[in-house]
Structure 1
């Protein structure tokens, strides 16, 4: 299932792991793209599983021009002890639980796990409140209680995140396994969600700047747009059809 480059095992002890949910507008996957490109994270392996639709393509990031992309890849920044597990395809539903079980086993030694997701904007019921909601385990809450006082997120109390994909299911499984974790999602609309992805990363950095390490001069965040974003909606329409 797990193919690693130049190593025999994946040791996540002391690491922060970020996983995107397969959600509305691909906002979470785009946010992970930003993190990988901005921090120049290195691909350390790929994950194969029956729940993942096979895909293969050219490099998604300009800092790794010779790499190829697949359905699920693992990127690492050893300097910041940060790992991103990037998903690029929808999940085959009948195998999704098996994949979640495997991911929990893979990350159970991590210091913390952050799941990013999104929900349909029209599902937001309280106008004027933060567009972000979260769930977190008690161990994660205890570790970050000081930072939580500085954010204006709302705590999610529902049973389903509409458009949120597999994020809530994975979070609850991690919680059952006693893995310190948080699920953060933003209400978005379908379309070009690259701006939403940028906002998700900036918001996450407000809580987790200690391990994201994205701040540059004057506490500004500098993000690198991946080369793969040039074709988010395919090639330009040719003039020959008019």
Structure 2
């Protein structure tokens, strides 16, 4: 499934894998874009899979004219050995009924690669929040049992709020409680598989609505940065959406909402 760019498969044991869920507002994918662009991570390989809609395009992180022609595809892997970080970027949607097989193959690769932990960046429909969630922070986290012992104290020190469980059948109050993430794409599947396969995994998500989700992505990477300290953190009170943000906007975001209206229309 994983195909390295070089002749040999890189040793990623002990690394932290960051990946998005294709979810509402594409917030996880935008957040991974920011991380790859800011850290100038190098592409080390890609996933050869029939689970994602095939796509191909130019280099989304081009910084000069000579590297714009480098091609990118639907699932690529980037690395920064100095910080022991690996980022998987997903750029297309799943083919019907193929999302669960993809999650199973992905987590098998994670297990065989002896990753230290997996962090899934995701989002959920803000319109599905309950009263408690409406009155609190829009960010939530989830931890699988395999990672709780190692990171729970750190998470507690950040005063983060865990994703609440809700009845599996909302109309029946005494039904079994479970994690529900409306609009979260593969987030629930990854979390459930991570629990059953004993994968050290954390899910970080934000309640959002469709629209201009760049501020949501900036907020999510700042949320992640509180924990991992990927870059120098903002001073308290800083606005992550300001132009002084330390996160580097990828060149491909210039066309995030299309190329504009043709002047010939006027």
* Alignment match, 2:120: 115
Once the two structures are TM-superposed, the CA of residue 147 in structure 1 deviates from its matched residue by 1.9
Q: Within 2, Cα distance between the matches of 1:145 and 1:234?
A: 42
CA gap 1:3/1:124 in 2 versus in 1, 3 angstroms: same
* Alignment match, 1:124: 129
* Alignment match, 2:265: 241
Give secondary structure in 2 for the equivalent of 1:215: coil
**Does residue 19 of structure 1 match 2:13?**
no
Q: Deviations over 1:53-99 (max 9, x none)?
A: 11111110035645321000000001111001100001113222221
Once the two structures are TM-superposed, the CA of residue 180 in structure 1 deviates from its matched residue by 0.6
CA gap 1:238/1:45 in 2 versus in 1, 3 angstroms: same
Contact 2:56 2:73 in 1 (8 A): yes
* Alignment match, 1:191: 211
Calculate the TM-score normalised by the size of structure 1. Answer: 0.92
Q: Which has more radius of gyration?
A: 2
* Alignment match, 1:155: 162
* Alignment match, 2:109: 106
Please, which moves more after superposition, 191-200 or 90-99?
90-99
CA gap 1:217/1:167 in 2 versus in 1, 3 angstroms: closer
Q: Within 2, Cα distance between the matches of 1:215 and 1:26?
A: 25
Once the two structures are TM-superposed, the CA of residue 141 in structure 1 deviates from its matched residue by 2.1
Once the two structures are TM-superposed, the CA of residue 14 in structure 1 deviates from its matched residue by 0.5
Q: Within 1, Cα distance between the matches of 2:193 and 2:146?
A: 15
Q: Deviations over 1:209-228 (max 9, x none)?
A: 2xx2x117979872100001
Q: Within 2, Cα distance between the matches of 1:166 and 1:241?
A: 41
* Alignment match, 2:232: 215
Calculate the TM-score normalised by the size of structure 2. Answer: 0.84
Give the alignment of 1:158-177 within 5 angstroms: 158=166, 159-177=179-197
CA gap 1:101/1:230 in 2 versus in 1, 3 angstroms: same
CA gap 1:80/1:188 in 2 versus in 1, 3 angstroms: same
Please, which moves more after superposition, 47-56 or 65-74?
65-74
Contact 2:139 2:207 in 1 (8 A): yes
Unaligned runs of 5+ in 2: 167-178, 239-244
Q: Within 2, Cα distance between the matches of 1:137 and 1:12?
A: 21
Q: CA RMSD in A?
A: 1.9
Number of residue pairs matched by the alignment:
239
Once the two structures are TM-superposed, the CA of residue 11 in structure 1 deviates from its matched residue by 2.7
* Alignment match, 2:38: 38
Unaligned runs of 5+ in 1: none
Give the alignment of 1:82-101 within 5 angstroms: 82-101=85-104
Q: Within 1, Cα distance between the matches of 2:151 and 2:95?
A: 34
Once the two structures are TM-superposed, the CA of residue 171 in structure 1 deviates from its matched residue by 1.7
Please, which moves more after superposition, 224-233 or 146-155?
146-155
